[in-house]
DNA sequence: TGGCCAATCTGGACTTTGTCTAATCTCGCG
DNA sequence: CGCGAGATTAGACAAAGTCCAGATTGGCCA
C-alpha cells in the first residue's frame, strides 16, 4: 500500500471525511510514517518549510479523524496524547526514558479472566501498555 | 486497617519519608478515601476550610510518594494523572463519560503471549485499562 | 463565468496541568 | 538559644489543548 496524497483523499472519503488540503496533509503525515505522533509532531511535520496549517486545525482534524475511526489515541504519557494510524486491535510497548512507543500485535496476546462489566456498560476498548526501561 | 493520621506517620516512616504535617495530610487524603485522586483533588481535599498546603507541595509530595513506592500513577485521561493508593498489582476500569476509575483485581486476570522485550530492557509495569461507556 | 453559502480554516486569547525558583519557614540538635 | 538541612511557599512560567469570531475556500447552480 502506497500512502500518496491521492490515496489519502480516497481514504478520507471512505471514512466520510471531506478531503481538504490540510486534512490530506495531516493524514499523509500520519500514514506515510506509520508512527505514533503527538499533535505537536503532526504540526511540525505538516509545517516544514513554510507554515501551512494552524494549531487549531491540527487539533480539530485529529479529533475528527478519531471520531471517524481513522486513527486511535494512545494515552501513555501524562503530558501528551499520541495518535496512532493503526486502528486494528493491538497493544503498546512504551520505553519510559526515551518516550519511544511501538506496537505489539494483538494476535498472540491473550487476556483472560476479566470480570463482568457493570450493568449497562459496553467496552469501548482495552488498552494494554507494557512500560519498559533500559536496564541500569 | 485504620487510616488515622498517626498511622500515616508510621506508614511514611516505613517508606523512608520524613513525616511532616503536609505529607501526613496528603497521605491521609489518599489512603482514608481509598480512591483515585488527581493532584487537583488532593489539593482540594487537603485545603477544605482554610488553605494549608500549597500547590507546589502537593505536586512535590505526590512525586515523592511515587518514587518511594507509596502510591502509583494511573494514566488514563489525557488531561490529568491519577494517584492510586493501591500499589499491589491490579488493573483499571475507566468509565469514559463519567471519568470514574475503579480497580480490577489482578488475581483472576491472565495475560499471556507477550513478545520478548527488546535487549537490555526491563519491564517497569504492565497497565491494563478497560475503557467502558454507558450503553446508549 | 460569476456569485452564493456552508463548511472549513485561522490567529490569538484563554484555560488547565504541571514545573521551577528564590525566599522563607521549621525543627532537631549541639 | 541559635544553626542549618530539609521542607514549604507564592507566584511566575511553560506546554498542551480549547475556543471564538472573523476570513477563506470551494462546490454548485444559474
Q: What is the mean pLDDT of residues A46-71?
A: 94
Which band of pLDDT confidence, cut at 50, 70 and 90, is reported for residue B16?
Answer: very high
Spatial distance from the CA of B19 to the C1' of C26 (Å): 13
Distance (Å, rounded) from C-alpha A105 to C-alpha A89?
Answer: 8
Instruction: Give the closest-approach CA distance of B68 to chain A in angstroms.
Output: 18
Residues 6+ apart with CB under 8 A from A38: A80, A81, A82, A83
pLDDT in tens, A20-32: 999 999 999 999 9
What's the topology of domain A5-83? Answer: Arc Repressor Mutant, subunit A (1.10.10)
8 A C-beta contact, residue B5 and residue B24: yes
Q: Where are the domains of chain B?
A: 5-83
Helices A5-14 and A21-33 pack at an angle, to 10 degrees, of 100
Residue with more model confidence, B49 or A93 = A93
- Does A136 have pLDDT greater than 80? no
Distances in whole angstroms, Cα of residue B71 to Cα of each of B34, B84, B87, B118: 11, 5, 6, 28
pLDDT in tens, B17-76: 999 999 999 999 999 999 999 999 999 999 987 878 999 999 999 999 999 999 999 999
- Does B111 have pLDDT greater than 90? yes
- Which residues of chain A have a CB within 8 Å of the CB of B130? 114, 117, 123, 126
Spatial distance from the CA of B43 to the C1' of C16 (Å): 15
Instruction: Give the closest-approach CA distance of A62 to chain B in angstroms.
Output: 14
8 A C-beta contact, residue A100 and residue B111: no
Q: What is the pLDDT at residue A78? A: 92
Residue with more model confidence, B51 or B107 = B107
Paired sense of beta strands B110-112 and A37-38, if any: unpaired
State the ipTM, two decimals.
0.90
Amino acid at each position: 500500500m502506497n500512502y500518496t496524497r491521492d490515496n489519502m483523499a480516497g481514504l478520507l472519503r471512505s471514512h466520510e471525511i471531506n478531503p481538504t488540503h490540510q486534512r490530506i496533509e495531516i493524514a499523509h503525515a500520519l500514514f506515510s510514517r506509520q508512527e505514533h505522533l503527538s499533535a505537536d509532531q503532526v504540526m511540525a511535520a505538516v509545517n516544514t518549510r513554510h507554515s501551512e496549517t494552524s494549531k487549531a486545525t491540527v487539533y480539530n482534524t485529529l479529533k475528527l479523524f478519531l471520531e471517524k475511526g481513522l486513527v486511535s489515541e494512545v494515552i501513555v504519557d501524562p503530558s501528551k496524547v499520541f495518535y496512532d494510524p493503526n486502528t486494528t486491535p493491538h497493544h503498546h510497548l512504551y520505553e519510559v526514558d526515551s518516550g519511544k512507543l511501538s506496537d505489539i500485535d494483538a494476535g498472540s496476546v491473550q487476556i483472560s479472566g476479566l470480570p463482568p462489566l457493570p450493568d449497562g456498560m459496553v467496552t469501548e476498548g482495552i488498552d494494554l501498555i507494557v512500560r519498559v526501561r533500559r536496564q541500569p
